[in-house]
Amino acid sequence: MAVAYESVLLIGGNVGDPPALLARAEALIDERIGRIVARSRDHWTEPWGFEDERLFLNRALLLRTVLEPTALLDGLLGIERALGRVRDQAVRYAPRGIDIDILLIGESVIDLPQLQVPHPCMHQRAFALSPAADIAPNWKHPVLHRTVLQLLNDLRHPVPALGRDDGMRAC
């Protein structure tokens, strides 16, 4: 029998009806991927990495699943596609109806071409850390050895060790 583990996901979007799309994404995740055991409050934020007049709705989910990490990723990408997401490899940051990111998987560090865990940019993004802090404030980043709440506070009061030499990929 497979062993269940917990993962922190970030879901978000700014096109169409974000509350409805996130609700549908949550239902599909719970149905196809694993059990959602906690969800953050909603966070409306400015776009990151591009200009757009629409705010993003972001929400973190604490998920319990038995899927292996690459199967988890494949399942989440399938949900994105089912909800109309078409990824353009030439455009990294753009408006979208749904985006589902894996932020953390237990204490795992995964560095595959298709999957990096912890998410390589999460420590630089308040829109990811704020929702994650709602549901997992004490979850320790396995590379930076700081909790989600500490990383969020570091964005307001930068710590020199979290600069370009932090061992994480560039965002």
Give domain limits for the chain: 5-162
Report the percent of the chain where pLDDT is more than 90: 76
Catalytic site includes residue 64: no
101 is catalytic: yes
Does residue 85 carry a catalytic annotation?
yes
Which one from 59, 96, 125, 134 is the annotated catalytic residue?
Answer: 96
Q: What would the pLDDT profile of 116-155 be if each residue is shown by its tens digit?
A: 999 999 999 999 999 999 999 999 999 999 999 999 999 9
Fold of 5-162: Alpha-Beta Plaits (3.30.70)
Annotated catalytic residue 59: no
Of the candidate ranges 41-55, 57-71, 82-96, the one whose mean pLDDT is the lowest: 82-96
Q: pTM score, two decimals?
A: 0.89
Can you tell me the distance from the alpha carbon of 129 to that of 56, in angstroms, rounded to the nearest whole number? Answer: 14
